[in-house]
Amino acid sequence: MTTVPKTEATSPHPLAGKRMTGAEMVVQVLADEGVQTVFGYSGGAILPTYDAVFRYNDEHRNGSGREPLQIVVPANEQGAGFMAAGYARASGRVGVVLVTSGPGATNTVTPVRDSMADSIPIVVLCGQVPTAMIGTDAFQEAPVAAIMGPVAKHVLLVTDPFKLEASIRTAFEIARTGRPGPVVVDLPKDIQNWIGEFQGGGLLPFPGYRQRVEAVHDSVLTAAACKEFFALLGASQRPLVYAGGGVINAEASTALRRFVQRFGLPVTTTLMGIGAVDTTGPLAMQMLGMHGAAFANYAVEDCDFLIAIGARFDDRVAAVVERFAPRAQRIAHFDVDPAEIGKVKKTDWHHVGVLGRDLDTLTSWGGRHHPVQDFSTWHAELADLKRRYAFNYDRDSALIQPYHVIEEINRHTRGEAIITTGVGQHQMWAAQYFDFRHPRLWLTSGSMGTMGFGLPAAIGAQFARPDRLVIDIDGDGSLRMNIGDLETVTTYNLPVKVVVLNNYGDGMVKQWQRLFYKGRLSASDKSLHRKDFIKAAQADGFGYAVRLDRKADVPRVVQEFLEYPGPAFLEVIIDPDAGVYPMIGPGMAYDQMITGDFIPSRGSRPEPEAPPGTSMF
């Protein structure tokens, strides 16, 4: 969470009073907000702003020749949205998208909804037909406010040119404060062409929103609340922290690590919370939930005090709510959004506030007043769970197993690389078998589960973190969704590494069809498709493009691939029957977890059941 900025500048803007076009004002506000990279695709209704960017760069280019406001052009606008989201996820800064009206705007609906679902701050600036033509079905007109309103954190349609500057600034404020999210600004062409005096400051009046954000900021942990929390912890013998993506969005990972280390608390994370704690640590229980580690799910089954931090008890974690954490006598919940408290699971103690600050307050209070507890028996039980129910697979198979490939990549990256993914089996394998030493290294589409996310997100992440190795772990189905952005990688000479785990089909769908639909592979088998990914990568300029289909070659080829100095593409032909395990089927509880053939189960192995008609995929 970020505090609300002051509405009045402490000193006048150096350009205040200068006459500018609306488009020039938009660009100047972007510069004032510290924006260095914009992802977008041009078109008629946004041309004035693109021209203003060109002229701004021409005027402000320094001796190095670098453009101060770089525009990255993708294959289509959906790619731009995911690039901005990848940029935001990797850096914590607001990602910016600049697209035209009509199809340019509607192509960004999916990344806007994806960002809303995962609380990612992006600002989407859309061109629009002139104000006098809105509602006339003009060429490339779309009702952006009506379309985006249900899927964005907020939408602003600028019809008053005197509110243009304030609208852009307010969009950034709303995107980054409170619970982050996407904000869309609809910019009619005549507003962009309007000429007026630049104010250099000011925000739109959003008193209700600012009051809510300020209320959360002012909600500090009292000594009484700390005492209540530690009374619950003191009565516990098996506490477990359940951390979600809110920890990372709030930049609270350091505070969380101090808190759990001080009091010896084990941590399991959601898919979005991966990296909130070092996954290689002795008390890191890795990911819980539908495809979480068996040992993490067993820890949830066994804990007596569950501490949810920046997590929301979503269906992938707590599908059967009344049977989730069945032995937890008490549940505590920290969040920035009061709407999440008690929404799914009743809690015994909760606090809504600024996460990092409040965790530090709790750590400090506990350090002074709470006696050190001995959780050694619980720690030993967890260590035994991790040893007994570790991830595993058929290591003797003659076919290339996807887990083996990821383990080999991980042996080189050692938890320090940025990993992006598409959605499907490869996403879960990456979440399970990669190490992550820090936050903002794991970038994936969580709540929306959007195929095609991985490649453009990797591009955005590489612009945000040029110092990091960025690897897109993708599937043959997901890569096809935004495959045009292979060319974007080489156009900007980004050293992004792309891995395609090719099982000739939509692997996760096929797994469900095998388990729950008697093996009827309806529209999911792609074995007859003729796509040659290597030729595609070579055609788009990849200097390294290799197909790996022999198990004995895995170590050598992976090393070559990672050490290649520029963009690199690796297609791996994997076992088409490789599955994602563990797995908790829809409508099932943790004690019904399917662990597959190579991970032990501490109960009887349940037979897969047909999912109930109301279950979600």
> Hey, which residues are catalytic here?
77, 139-140, 189, 508
Token reading at 36: 């260095």
Contacts (Cβ under 8 Å, ≥6 apart) of 314 = 270, 344, 447
Name the nearest CA neighbour of 141 among 180, 108, 184, 188. 188
Report DSSP letters for 269-308, one per residue.
E-STTTTSS-TTSTTEEEE-STTS-HHHHHHHHH-SEEEE
- Asked if 293 contacts 391 with a C-beta cutoff of 8 angstroms, the reply is yes
Question: Checking DSSP bridges between strand 195-197 and strand 19-21, what pairing results, if any?
Answer: antiparallel
Q: Distance between CA atoms of 350 and 335, rounded to whole angstroms?
A: 8
Rounded to 10 degrees, the C-alpha dihedral 62/65/87/148 comes to: 80
Which residues share a beta bridge with 326?
none
Contacts (Cβ under 8 Å, ≥6 apart) of 385 = 294, 295, 298, 299
Q: Which residue has the tokens 């529209």?
A: 523
- Asked if 155 contacts 95 with a C-beta cutoff of 8 angstroms, the reply is no
DSSP code at position 18: -
Going from the C-alpha of 90 to that of each of 270, 284, 568, the distances in angstroms are 18, 22, 20
Report the residue count for the chain. 617
Q: Distance between CA atoms of 261 and 112, rounded to whole angstroms?
A: 37
- Asked if 336 contacts 342 with a C-beta cutoff of 8 angstroms, the reply is no
Q: Distance between CA atoms of 134 and 235, rounded to whole angstroms?
A: 63
Q: Identify the sign of the CA torsion 214, 439, 72, 458.
A: negative
Coil, helix or strand at residue 207: helix
